Amino acid sequence: MDGDGSPATTAGNAVCVTGSTGYIGSSLVGALLRRGYRVHAAARDIGKASQILSTFGSKDQLRIFRADLNEEGSFDEAVKGCMGVFHVAASMEFNTSVEENIDDHVKSEILQPAIRGAINVLQACWRAGSVKRVVFTSSISTITAKDSNGEWKTTVDESSITPTHQVWREKSNGWVYVLSKLLTEEEAFKFAKEKGIDLVSIIPPTVAGPFLTPTVPASVQVLLSPITGDPLLYPILASVYCRLGSISLVHIEDICDAHIFLMENKAAKDRYLCSVGSYSMPQLADLLSSEYPSFDSERFRKEFHDSIPSEISSNRLSDLGYKSRYNVNDIVKQSISYCRECGFLKCPEVEK
């Protein structure tokens, strides 16, 4: 990063991406390679990483390292010599089917490993000595559009943090993931401050659009759950809507660009929301129907009120100079197109 906050010269700069086989991680690796970075891709499964990332064809710029969030020290080699680290990986094994002592189970089996994994990455950054900045991938699940009195806010920004005690009390759909992201980010900032690590957090909403992964990413499936009627994922979308009063979206290429922008811009600090637009559930259903005519959006007008949603503000990021390239229509159109191509959604010929 240049001293005046302008983008750094990428030639020769090595950066590490954790979670490189995931939706954001794999796309981020590609975006970095196209900009001339040397990339250390960290993944639990090297074979899977090689299969997904081989499409970039930049072997001289790309190295793949085995690393596991649950193994202390396993990120040391991947981070060594890197000037920046993108911590995208997250523990996602959330089995909350345990009926007895569920709170204790969540604390010991899910939350502690998730936090420990983030600290393992930051410890590797501290030991490496070369890392100038870490960009931490958070989630809009850490954000709420309701104030302390339960009233809807006009504008939602980075300060609109979901209270952890509320998550524990309500235990709504996806609550374990919400709690994990909240506490992991909190502990990451605390550790970074203690060790003098420059940590910046980016807060993506629902990420969708094209994908490199062999299966349809969970966030794309959540977005399209009104069409598929998925009994596990649609309640998550509805829960997001109840918490935010809208469904906020970002294109996969935009969120990757934003990650790199925050890595390169020296003036960046703390947390940044990255959203290109928010739709009410009826508005989103109508948009899905316009791109996928066999889907009937009428029942969503009966189930949800088409009220004016809170503004999910990315002003802090845009004020820093970041500009997105895609709008909500682009995101929905491309998501449906890719899911048709891979067979996740029926193609028009089949629908006839």
d(C-alpha 283, C-alpha 289), whole Å: 10
d(C-alpha 88, C-alpha 39), whole Å: 14
pLDDT of residue 152: 85
Percent of the chain residues past pLDDT 90, beyond the cut:
63
d(C-alpha 119, C-alpha 322), whole Å: 29
Q: What's the total number of domains in the chain?
A: 1
Q: What is the mean pLDDT of the chain?
A: 87
Between 84 and 96, name the one with better pLDDT: 84
pLDDT of residue 162: 85
Q: Indicate whether 135 pLDDT > 50.
A: yes
Percent of the chain residues past pLDDT 70, beyond the cut:
88
Q: Indicate whether 224 pLDDT > 60.
A: yes
Q: Indicate whether 166 pLDDT > 90.
A: no
Between 137 and 246, name the one with better pLDDT: 137
- Evaluate whether 218 touches 224 at the Cβ level (below 8 Å): no
Expressed as residue numbers, the domain containing 104 is: 14-210+248-276+311-325
Kindly indicate the confidence band of residue 102, based on its pLDDT and cuts at 50, 70 and 90.
low
Kindly indicate the confidence band of residue 198, based on its pLDDT and cuts at 50, 70 and 90.
very high
pLDDT of residue 47: 93
What average pLDDT does the segment 112-126 reach? 92
Kindly indicate the confidence band of residue 103, based on its pLDDT and cuts at 50, 70 and 90.
low
26's CB contacts (< 8 A; 6+ apart) are 20, 52, 53, 212, 213
Does residue 337 belong to any structural domain of this protein? no
Does residue 330 belong to any structural domain of this protein? no
Does residue 238 belong to any structural domain of this protein? no
pLDDT of residue 93: 43
Does residue 340 belong to any structural domain of this protein? no
Does residue 289 belong to any structural domain of this protein? no
Does residue 255 belong to any structural domain of this protein? yes
The 10s digit of each residue's pLDDT in 283-308 is: 999 999 999 999 988 877 777 766 67
Q: Indicate whether 10 pLDDT > 70.
A: no
pLDDT of residue 1: 42
Task: Specify the CATH number for the domain of residue 18.
Answer: 3.40.50.720
pLDDT of residue 109: 64
pLDDT of residue 6: 39
Between 51 and 5, name the one with better pLDDT: 51
Spell out the SS3 assignment of 264-312: HCCCCCEEEECCCEEECHHHHHHHHHHHCCCCCCHHHHHHCCCCCCCEE
Of all helices (H) and strands (E), which one includes residue 200? strand 199-203
- Which neighbouring-strand residues pair with 312? 156
What average pLDDT does the segment 146-158 reach? 86
pLDDT of residue 99: 41
Between 103 and 171, name the one with better pLDDT: 171
Q: Say which range, 21-35, 87-101, 238-252, has the weakest mean pLDDT.
A: 87-101
Does residue 18 belong to any structural domain of this protein? yes
What average pLDDT does the segment 270-295 reach? 93
Transcribe 54-116 into DSSP letters.
GGG--TTTEEEEE--TTSTTTTHHHHTT-SEEEE------------TTHHHHHIIIIIHHHHH
What average pLDDT does the segment 195-205 reach? 97
- Please choose, from the candidates 350, 322, 345, 315, the residue with its C-alpha nearest in 3D space to the C-alpha of residue 333: 345
Q: Indicate whether 174 pLDDT > 80.
A: no
Does residue 144 belong to any structural domain of this protein? yes
Tell me whether strands 247-251 and 206-208 are parallel, antiparallel or unpaired: parallel
What average pLDDT does the segment 2-31 reach? 77
pLDDT of residue 180: 86
pLDDT of residue 86: 98
**Is 352 assigned a catalytic role?**
no
Q: What is the pTM of this model?
A: 0.90
**Residue of 59, 132, 153, 181 with catalytic role:** 181
d(C-alpha 221, C-alpha 123), whole Å: 34
